[in-house]
Amino acid sequence: MATNNAPSHSGGLSTGGSVAIGIVVGFVILSLLVMAVWFVQKKTKKDKGSRGGYAAPSPFTSSHNSGTLFLRPQSPANFVGSGSGSDFVYSPSEPGGVSSSRSWFTYEELIQATDGFSAQNLLGEGGFGCVYKGLLIDGREVAVKQLKVGGGQGEREFRAEVEIISRVHHRHLVSLVGYCISEHQRLLVYDYVPNNTLHYHLHGENRPVLDWSTRVKVAAGAARGIAYLHEDCHPRIIHRDIKSSNILLDLNYEARVSDFGLAKLALDSNTHVTTRVMGTFGYMAPEYATSGKLTEKSDVYSFGVVLLELITGRKPVDASQPIGDESLVEWVSHVFPSTLLSLLSIIYRIFSLLKGTFMYCKTTKSCFHHLKILKT
């Protein structure tokens, strides 16, 4: 059985039978717990009666002021999100002193908050720009994402994030605090989540040890956040870049899914949306990477890879591994005994019968479907 100790580094796991059994049993337990949480959540929502989905218009309008284009809240209006454990009420405030409820900032204010975007405040760098820790004049800690200038990619990401994140508030999603467009500068201001990323805790040097209960807690929290995007947002939202480095942890190790720069709105009338392939190697569903067909299953596959990371402690792609085992999914397919694969198939069949748990009971199968391992 899997123990409560954190898994060793990538090279610490052998491919022996006992290790394989431990990995599979741990994966099954984690999957079952996530599915159980999801089932209870859906049942509770059903008992409370019909819920009101939201299709709030974007609560922002643009205006010009001193050469800077701000996105300013419409007035007066409240926008309420659907209830999935996190009702969102948007209450715009008038321009004035910086406060925690403000939704726009001047470029000068963000320069001051980040100490001139100093290297000491750099939290990380992604495909579209850098993220800096900032401190607003009211004492609130924030994360400021400075998008790369030049080209249309950064601007498209900014506009997509403003439109999407302005509507989405959930305890397991990183909230947008504010934003600014100033000439060629485009910045997004998020809540600061202080305990680094799941990727750091699994793969970083001198990382804190995650025990088993914490791993389950992180998996369940991330699952709730993704489910909210898929089921409680109208139009529904597909993240498109679910990975361990986009799952932030607070001081209580509650997971918060971040980085909606790659997210797209999928219209309910479409079975899939074909668009430019974006994401991270090792996490992308095979059919998405090859065809660009985008559905919620793309996120489900990526989340399944995150579950494998939680169980094995291995990176999704590790060039230091032997040839053929660089991919985590491929490696797992080699170490799983066929008898335990039959067990996974049985579990899939059982839980696929439970209404409301379809997305998560299908995680295991969707992760390995292209490898032709699981048959139903």
Give me the domains of the chain, ranges plus CATH numbers.
10-46+195-371 (1.10.510.10), 60-191 (3.30.200.20)
Amino acid at 241: D
Q: Looking at the annotation, which residues are catalytic? A: 241
pLDDT of residue 342: 59
Query: pLDDT tens for residues 71-98?
Result: 333 333 333 333 333 333 333 333 333 3
User: Which CA distances in Å does 170 have to 26, 73, 225, 255?
Assistant: 28, 20, 7, 11
Task: For residues 290 and 278, give the distance between their C-alpha atoms in angstroms, rounded to a whole number.
Answer: 11
Query: pLDDT tens for residues 323-346?
Result: 888 988 888 877 765 645 555 565
Task: For residues 110 and 181, give the distance between their C-alpha atoms in angstroms, rounded to a whole number.
Answer: 11
Residue 195 has pLDDT above 70, yes or no: yes
Token code pair at residue 65: 């002021």
Query: pLDDT tens for residues 282-312?
Result: 998 888 777 877 788 889 889 989 988 998 8
Q: Are the C-beta atoms of 234 and 53 separated by less than 8 Å?
A: yes
Residue 50 has pLDDT above 50, yes or no: no
Token code pair at residue 74: 């419409």
H or E, element range at 30 = helix 17-47
Phi/psi of residue 9, nearest 5 degrees: -60, 170
Phi/psi of residue 132, nearest 5 degrees: -120, 145
pLDDT of residue 85: 38
173: helix, strand or coil = strand
Please give the model's pTM, rounded to 2 decimal places: 0.68
pLDDT of residue 24: 57
pLDDT confidence band for 250 (50 / 70 / 90): very high
Question: How many Cα atoms sit within 13 Å of 253 on the Cβ side?
Answer: 18
User: Which CA distances in Å does 325 have to 22, 48, 145, 199, 320?
Assistant: 19, 48, 35, 20, 9
pLDDT of residue 374: 42
Q: Is 372 annotated as a binding residue?
A: no
Radius of gyration of the chain (CA): 21
Residue 278 has pLDDT above 90, yes or no: no
Residue 205 has pLDDT above 50, yes or no: yes
Q: Could you count the other beta carbons within 10 Å of the beta carbon of residue 10?
A: 18
Closest-CA residue to 103 (of 75, 131, 139): 75
Mean of pLDDT over the chain: 70
14 or 179: which leads in pLDDT: 179
Task: For residues 327 and 184, give the distance between their C-alpha atoms in angstroms, rounded to a whole number.
Answer: 39
Q: What's the whole-number mean pLDDT along residues 150-169?
A: 67
pLDDT of residue 43: 56
Residue 230 has pLDDT above 80, yes or no: yes
pLDDT confidence band for 15 (50 / 70 / 90): very low
290: helix, strand or coil = helix
pLDDT of residue 255: 98
